[in-house]
Amino acid sequence: MRKVETRPPSFPEVREDAPLASEPELVWQVLCGDRGHWRVGLYSPALASAAEVHELERHDCPELFLLLEGELTLVLADPSAPEGVRELPLEPGRPVLVSAPHSGYCPRGPHRGVAFVVERDSFDTEYRAPRDWAR
């Protein structure tokens, strides 16, 4: 297990009232935020199957995922599931508020899906193997 603290300022300074720059094929890219409140970013996993997910993360606050393009499936810790995890394919236009330990993959190949993510500007994250969350 490992822990990471995220504290403000946790996002880049940007020019307001103008398009934001984004980089293709990054797993996680923080775009902007409001200090002490929220930050937003793009999530595009490099993994292509649940079998490749070796670590799940859990923040001490929920985060919102909204599929922007392609296909992206979240892998969520679920002690009631046979292997301790369940898969949640994201659907265009249907946001999901996630509080469970999670990760994700793109079933059509690395970076073939992109989700818009909203989270707090300050939070703690714990990382563990999927089987460790099921205990």
Q: How many residues belong to the chain? A: 135
CB 105 within 8 A of CB 55: no
Torsion angle, CA of 126/33/65/82, rounded to 10 degrees?
0
What DSSP character marks residue 109?
S
DSSP, residue by residue, 5-45? EE-SS-S----TTSPPP--TT-SEEEEEEETTTEEEEEE--
For residue range 67-98, list pLDDT tens digits in order.
999 999 999 999 999 889 999 999 999 999 99
Domain map of the chain by residue range? 2-7+24-133
Superfamily name with CATH number, domain 2-7+24-133: Jelly Rolls (2.60.120.10)
pLDDT at 1: 86
Each residue's pLDDT tens digit, 101-133: 999 999 999 999 999 999 999 999 999 999 899
Q: Dihedral sign for Cα 119, 122, 127, 132, please.
A: negative
- In the prediction, which pLDDT does 118 show? 98
Nearest CA to 133 out of 103, 89, 90, 95 is that of 103
At 134, is the pLDDT very low, low, confident or very high (cuts 50, 70, 90)? confident
Partners of residue 32 on adjacent β-strands: 40
What is the mean predicted confidence (pLDDT) over 17-24?
A: 93
The pTM of this model reads: 0.95
Task: Write out the two tokens for 96.
Answer: 């999901």
pLDDT tens figures, 45-72:
999 999 999 999 999 999 999 999 999 9
